[in-house]
Amino acid sequence: MAVDSNYLAQKILQGFHCHYDRFQRLTKGARSRFLKRQWQQVIEASAERISYYDRQVKETSASIQRAVGQQFEEQLWLATRQRYRSLLKFHPQAELAETFYNSVFCRAFERRYFHNDFIFVETMLESHIPVSVQSQYHSYFPVKGGLPKILSQLFLDIGLNGEFENFENDLEQLRDAFLQRSQETEIEPHDIRIDVLSSPFFRNKAAYIVGRIVTEQYHYPFIVPVLVNSHGKLYVDAFITNSNRMATIFGFARSYFMVQTEAPSALVRFLKDLMPHKTLAELYASIGFHKQGKTEFYRDFLHHLRRTDDQLAAAAGVKGMVMTVFTLPSFPYVFKVIKDTLGSTKTFSRQTVIDRYRMVKRHDRVGRMADTLEFADVAIPLDRIAADLLDELQATVGGSIQVEDKTLVIKQLFVERRMTPLNLFLEYASDEEVDAAMDDYGRAIKEMIAANIFPGDMLLKNFGVTRHKRIVFYDYDEVRYLTDMNFRALPPIDQYSDVDVSSAPDDVFPQQLGQFAVPQPRYREKLLKHHPELIDPKYWQRTQKHIREGSLTDVFPYAEQLRFTRRF
């Protein structure tokens, strides 16, 4: 059967609609899972939603290949791209549909066709009619009815549809926090408008109401976390108004939110107003559109290469045994390629490394594991690669790269946000900074294991320090599920005995954590001062038991002192 450009464009768009509809159905269920405290289903739904995209791309690509056969007809695909572009003029998810088209095309055809004639390397949405940002939120005016009435109406409109533990108490605390913020910023309730996004943001064991306070001169962002107690009753936990604190809640080391929207671009534009330092890539990823996040990241990278002239160079820090890592000094990310030959102490395969990075992608990262973008067939101009880095790449990852004319093609590439390696940070830190960092390092380990993640290699060099001085793990080649490990105590050893301790591959001796992960006495002393239980096998065993019983530990993405403490 002969196919034309309209058939192909409609077929790909139909595939996108199937993906988006399934994505939204799973997202819609977040409200019910939260209200019913179905925490295990929360974990499963988050992992499942991430895999939807690739399954639909694979299915649509296979359908396209069956329709067109083996021969690539340039004129047909030039026309198909143009027709597809025209179909997106009034599409509410146009930018996502562009990315889906790219994914289908790149799966079906050879890399030599991956340029802007056939795919959307650059977006073609200049003629697209954008959905209004106003469609995403409701506005409230305290001058009409007063602040308490407005806050009460806000909760009715957001539609959590659950019974509150003590709604009057929650409103009182919200009102007090709001008035305190008003005094700090010298604004009065009658001089403001309150904009609130229509749908709550669900993640883990919380629902977040997101909005802004609008005055004549400024916008003040806010988040109101709503939790559910052990009796199934709702309560307001905090009122957060700082843009940097909000950015942390939407951080790159956290799991993706579930939030319903028919117009992601409008929602992202609203969030960008609240958190101007966040990139579009970060914001799209934060609300679950991680493939669109990849698209926005890659476009940013290409634009950055055109605007700058610095060269890619080896990343700072101790070189690892699994990845060759490099960075562009003017661009805040690191690029990681799996080595052809892993270090002698690494007993796993290349595929195991890939599987573990993807495992973290699907898992709850609890604010302690950096999100990773995985790319295939990435082309980088050779003149942007420092000579010594090119030599290192050819020596360590030669099987994953190929030189084509003036371009280096990397077959598989992982990208993460650049951080200062913890071991380097500690070398120049003050005593107070060392103490705080080692405390947070211990907290990071505790929060990861509470989420059923055993980091494996807990050396300081595998953790980074963010600009907010938060400790985040970023090396996943030895990551395992905590429940797969066997935590054992070392037998007592006195000065006259010589005990040989036998161990199986999954055995772990927490008493050795301080010695092997933190061999420096000064740092180890700080760690154990704050977290002595980390070297107690029973602590790890109790955490395993907690997980196996189906419990999901509370890990709050905001400081304890911000939480409301005046309970009724």
Q: Cα angle at 38 between 198 and 284, to 5 degrees? A: 40
- Return the SS3 of 14: helix
| 319 marked ligand binding residue | yes
Q: Which two tokens stand for residue 479?
A: 């990551």
| 316 marked ligand binding residue | yes
Q: How many helices (H) and strands (E) does the chain have?
A: 18, 19
Question: Across-strand partners of 559?
Answer: none
Q: 256: how many CB neighbours lie within 10 A of its CB?
A: 23
Q: Is 371 part of the annotated catalytic residue set?
A: yes
Instruction: For residue 217, give every residue at least 6 positions away whose Cβ sits within 8 Å of its Cβ, in sequence order, or none.
Output: none
The values of phi and psi at residue 349, to 5°, are -95, 170
User: In which element (H, E) is residue 334 found?
Assistant: strand 333-338
Amino acid (1-letter code) at residue 454: F
Residue (of 288, 222, 297) closest to 258 by Cα position: 288
| 450 marked ligand binding residue | no
Q: Is the distance from CB of 104 to CB of 60 less than 8 angstroms?
A: yes
SS3 annotation, 339-399: CCCCCCCCCCCHHHHHHHHHHHHHCCCCCCECCEEEEEEEEEEHHHECHHHHHHHHHHCHH
| 293 marked ligand binding residue | no
Q: Is the distance from CB of 195 to CB of 269 less than 8 angstroms?
A: no
| 162 marked ligand binding residue | no
| 320 marked ligand binding residue | yes
Residue (of 242, 151, 236) closest to 192 by Cα position: 151
User: In which element (H, E) is residue 226 found?
Assistant: strand 219-228
Q: Which two tokens stand for residue 205?
A: 């064991």
Cα separation of 201 and 286, whole Å? 10
Measured torsion, CA atoms of residues 262, 264, 265, 268, in degrees rounded to the nearest 10: 140
Q: 494: how many CB neighbours lie within 10 A of its CB?
A: 6
| 465 marked ligand binding residue | no
Q: Which of 195, 237, 364, 371 is catalytic?
A: 371
Q: What sign results for the dihedral spanned by CA atoms 482, 485, 489, 493? A: negative
Q: Which two tokens stand for residue 74?
A: 């340039």
Active site residues: 371
Residues making up the binding site for ATP: 315-321, 336
Residues making up the binding site: 315-321, 336
